[in-house]
Amino acid sequence: MKDKLKVIDLFSGCGGFSFGFENAGYHIVLGVDNDKTSLETFKANHKNSKTLLADLHNDNAIDDIVNEVKEHKIDVIIAGPPCQGFSLTGARNEGDDRNKLFYSVFKLAEKIKPRAIIIENVPGLATLYNGFAKDAILKEFERLNYSNNFKVLFAPDYEVPQIRKRIFFVGLNSDLGKFEFPKEILKPENYNTTSIAISDLPTLENELGEEQSIYDKPAKTEYQKKLRNGSKILFNHVASKHTELVINVISQVPDGGNHKDLPKGVGESRTFNEAWTRYNSKKPSKTIDTGHRNHFHYKFNRIPTVRENARLQSFPDNFVFVGTRTQQNRQVGNAVPPLLGFHVAEKLSTYLNKKS
């Protein structure tokens, strides 16, 4: 590990962002989060990393982190601060304490002086509240003498079979130049689709499944082969039990359709934008959220399993989620897609490994 670039993952959740960095050859020294179950998942999938349960609202947490990594020279801080205050879905509150949690990234950077800092969030961060957070982040980069650049990345461009936009801010030590984002990997006509991602998984038409099971058919696509990653056991592929009424409503929604495609008088208890939405088999999935109650499998009359949504987030099948089903779904929905993290990490390494 001593020759690898070293990373701290703040607001790590289950570790999707850092898993992408690990696959790009970095050593994740520490994952920090305030959710115990998410850190248990992080630890189960980052065998060479430590974890720290900490609330970054509290400045004492910064000293605890410094103490945890004192034996290492940290090269990179990556962070995905909670985004509820900036999200276009749900209530927004300018005074929400979570809106200023990004300051903890710079408080830590001031003490350990990494060569690079990456902050990820929802695109709304750049414009809401008159751009308060975006301007503050750029000001902090300048204050600490980091060059900076930011861009909204579209996950399908980077192999992820999911319609997901996220803004990335990248700061580099001024002697490293200004970060240029990685070029898109796929063009729209070649995007990985929902069926490309999950069509090989057991259908669960006649059973709910178990937390550990086996594949019942071979991988059909390059993406499926990539995410199986040599796995023999299939984890977290368990269906939810629906009432006959719910199954009947879902069955009337076509591939890629939603509540607007239902006959009059059917499913009218839910008529908001995302209600009764089936994934489209020929397109990337809708954005994976933390609830998973309004989106349905493109073919089967049920919500997707944790594993199916993890595939759509680009987690490999040997990445195991722990906790209750609700906790697992939240971990998947909150994560940075590992493949998106991987491509950013690969590009970053060209700057950090540059010979002087």
Widest CA span in the chain: 69
Phi–psi pair at 12, nearest 5 degrees? -70, -25
Question: Residue 30: what residue type?
Answer: L
Q: For residue 162, what is the DSSP state?
A: B
Distance, in Å, from the CA atom of 210 to the CA atom of 194, rounded to the nearest integer, reads 22
14 is catalytic: no
Q: For 134, left (φ over 0), alpha (ψ -120 to 50), or beta?
A: alpha
Contact (Cβ atoms closer than 8 angstroms) between residue 143 and residue 105: no
Residue at 56: amino acid letter = L
d(CA 220, CA 223): 8
Tokens matching residue 77? 């801080």
Two tokens at 80? 């995905």
Contacts of 172 (CB under 8 A, 6+ apart): 115, 116, 146, 147, 148, 178, 179, 351
Active-site pick, 10, 62, 79, 83? 83
Q: Is 30 helix (H, G, I), strand (E, B) or coil?
A: strand
The residues assigned a catalytic role are 83
